[in-house]
Amino acid sequence: YEILEVNVNGGEKKLQGRLDSSSGEPYVPFSFVKEYFEIYGEVQKQKEKKVLEWRHSYSEIHESKFEYDPKGTFLWFQGYHVEGRLRVKCICGKEEVPVSSQWNPNGHYYPIQIAQYGLSHYSSYIAERDDTGKVKLFEDAESVFDSNWVVSEPNKVENIVDEERGSRVIKFWTQGFVGEGVSLHLDSSTKEYVLSFHLKQTGDVIITVSIETKHNTQHLIHYTSDEEMISVKQNEIFMGIGTWKGWRKITRNLDTDLRKGLRLSEKSPNKKPKNTPKFSVTEIQTITLKGSGCIDNITLSRSARLDFFMAAANWFVRNQDKNGGWPITVKRKIMEGVEMAPGWYSAMAQGQAMSLLTRAYYHTNNSVYLEAALKATSLFGVPANKGGVRAMFMDKYPWYEEYPTTPSLYVLNGFIYSLVGLHDLTLAAPKKTEAKAFFDDGMKSLKALLLMFDAGSGTFYDLRHVSMRAPPNLARWDYHTLHVSLLHFISGIDSDRVVKDTAVRWTGYTKGKRAKHN
């Protein structure tokens, strides 16, 4: 091979390549090819030889082989781990749902994120058909003895009968919050990281869990009866669980809480660090109680899918406003001169809330969830410039906006997600015609406008280049494959060839195919 000087675009960039002396074939560095053509690949060792794995797209297309079941998994969400995302600041101890740091590092409740959290856990529950796996019970108070508890004077632990629960419980009291408290040794070194217990406060409490990670590092997570979201002090994490009357079940994924606390202690918690220190929980050691109250059914399990799913569904019921929506409480800037003030609604949030609430209705047979889903349709009839989510393309085609800007943005994925929610609600309440009418109108718009999102080798994320006279906003590959996956789903509802044929063509783009030239 000879060294070959490579001039790119008339000398815009110069690099060193190689020339095969025998064939005359020139070669350029793959690092340049990757950047220039936006492809992906790396050299891997396979079966004692080195192989260059080359991919045009880094993202996966989901195409279901089964008929859609509105009571079953939501699309492909069983593969989602919402709480693991960098933009999830923590799982709030009081509301028991994700807190988003997207657009506001202080945190806010983002309905789309909360709906996806609930849908992912529900889908995982359906896919796994096992909610908790092995459950370790450490205290259910059914024994009249309390010898498992470590108590020092003047602190007290007492096994009593609680009339409200109709069973025996552990009553505790400590002198203030300084000192040892009362402790129960868990000493669990397996992968049961989900802690659950029932708690009744008769005063302020602090529930502390001692966790050991690799290299014998000890961490403390304090669940406190205040409103603080999350804070960190060295190896101690503080999370507020609020106050309430009566009994409440608390379910916490200790691994998630620990990771979120450690992430918060980093200088840039919203950015992925170059060298992420790996750690693993090796032992859940003790649970320590301080303050005054009663506790029952202390367990560790591998998961609690239904608890997390219902926490999200209940949040939507509690927080739905008089307009039937869930306003986003932070400003969202789309581009220079185009932004939405706090209090805007999202059609994607409305739709995914419907998908979540209808599944909660199926699971519980409680009509409160279906009623909330039905109320959520009202904003689909309200124009975006009047506080709703409905835009009109060329005064003819209704479009349900993920981001209801003026001028309209026409985001594709959020629009289709809203259609999925309307479809779920139509199936759950077939006698209510409003959701079906909005769905049918939306499908007409999708089929009419779909090809406007075709960029010839990928897709446009939105139509700002049409509606705002702005430079086009190409969808990155994970959004492109999301477009394709959603079209595959929609084609199972509506057999119009334009949807299926477009999905097939867009799939080809992920493998380097392009639209034909003239």
| Same domain (yes/no): 444, 316 | yes
The answer to whether 87 touches 101, Cβ cutoff 8 Å, is yes
Inter-residue contact 94 to 227 (CB < 8 Å): yes
Check whether residue 230 and residue 327 sit in a common domain: no
Statement to judge: residues 354 and 445 lie in one domain: yes
Same structural domain, 358 and 283: no
CA of residue 354 relative to chain centroid, distance: 16
Residue 101 lies in a domain: no
Boundary-marking domain end, from 55, 78, 98: 55
Q: What is the DSSP letter of 240?
A: E
Which range is most confident: 8-12, 300-304, 365-369? 365-369
- Are 83 and 256 spatial neighbours (Cβ–Cβ below 8 Å)? yes
So what's the pLDDT on residue 492?
Answer: 92
Please give the angle made by the CA atoms of 473, 476 and 480, to the nearest 5 degrees. 100
Statement: residue 84 has pLDDT above 70: yes
CB 386 within 8 Å of CB 319: no
Q: What is the pLDDT of residue 304?
A: 94
Report d(CA 415, CA 103) in Å as an integer: 21
Residue 115 lies in a domain: no
291 and 332 share one domain: no
Band (77; pLDDT cuts 50, 70, 90): very high
Please give the average per-residue pLDDT across 308-327, as a whole number.
Answer: 98
Averaged pLDDT, 348-361? 98
- Predicted confidence band of residue 134 (pLDDT cuts 50, 70, 90): confident
Q: What does the pLDDT average to over 395-415? A: 97
Tens digit of pLDDT for each residue in 474-509? Answer: 999 999 999 999 999 999 999 999 999 999 999 999
pLDDT given for residue 132 in this prediction? 61
Quick one: 346 and 434 in the same domain? yes
93 located within any domain = no
Res. 216 pLDDT band, cuts 50 70 90: confident
pLDDT, mean of residues 183-187: 94
Please tell me the total count of domains within the chain: 3
Closest CA to 122 of 85, 192, 74, 84: 74
Q: What is the pLDDT of residues 431-445, one digit of tens each?
A: 999 999 999 999 999
Is 486 in the same domain as 392? yes
pLDDT of residue 183: 96
Q: What tokens does 466 get?
A: 């049409």
Indicate the pLDDT class of residue 142, thresholds 50, 70 and 90.
confident
pLDDT at 296 over 70: yes
What percent of the chain has pLDDT above 70? 96
277 pLDDT more than 60? no
Q: What is the mean pLDDT of residues 3-16?
A: 94
Classify each residue of 494-516 as buried b or exposed e, where b means 16 or more C-beta atoms within 10 Å of its C-beta. bebeebbebbeebbebbeeeeee
**Residue 214 has what pLDDT?**
87
pLDDT attached to residue 146: 60
Same domain, yes or no: 221 and 329: no
CATH of the domain at 161: 2.60.120.260
**Mean of pLDDT over the chain:** 94
The answer to whether residue 270 scores a pLDDT higher than 80 is: no
pLDDT score at 453: 98
Provide the pLDDT for residue 178: 87
> Which amino acid, one-letter code, is at 442?
G
Residue at which a domain ends, from 55, 75, 98: 55
Contact 458, 472 (CB under 8 A): no
What predicted TM-score, i.e. pTM, was given to this entire model?
Answer: 0.94
Q: 122 lies in a domain?
A: no
Note whether residue 159 is domain-resident. yes
| 370/488 same-domain check | yes
CA dihedral 131→134→138→141, nearest 10 degrees, is 60
pLDDT at 64: 80
Residue 377 lies in a domain: yes
Residue 193 has pLDDT above 90, yes or no: yes
Q: Is the pLDDT of residue 275 over 60?
A: no
Instruction: Return the CATH number at 426.
Output: 1.50.10.20
Query: Please, which pLDDT band fits residue 272 given cuts at 50, 70 and 90?
Result: low
Percent of the chain with pLDDT over 90: 87
Q: Is the pLDDT of residue 404 over 60?
A: yes
Residue 293: band (very low, low, confident or very high) from pLDDT cuts 50, 70, 90: very high
Confidence class for position 65, pLDDT limits 50, 70, 90: confident
Please give the Cα distance from 391 to 383 (Å, whole number): 6
**For residue 265, what pLDDT band results from cuts at 50, 70 and 90?**
confident
Residue 499 lies in a domain: yes
Q: Say if residue 273's pLDDT is above 80.
A: no
Whole domain around residue 175: which residue ranges?
A: 135-268+275-302
User: Is residue 385 included in any domain, yes or no?
Assistant: yes
Range of weakest confidence among 271-285, 328-342, 386-400, 498-512: 271-285
Q: Do residues 172 and 250 share a domain? A: yes
Residue 402 sits in the same domain as residue 494: yes
Are residues 468 and 319 part of one domain? yes
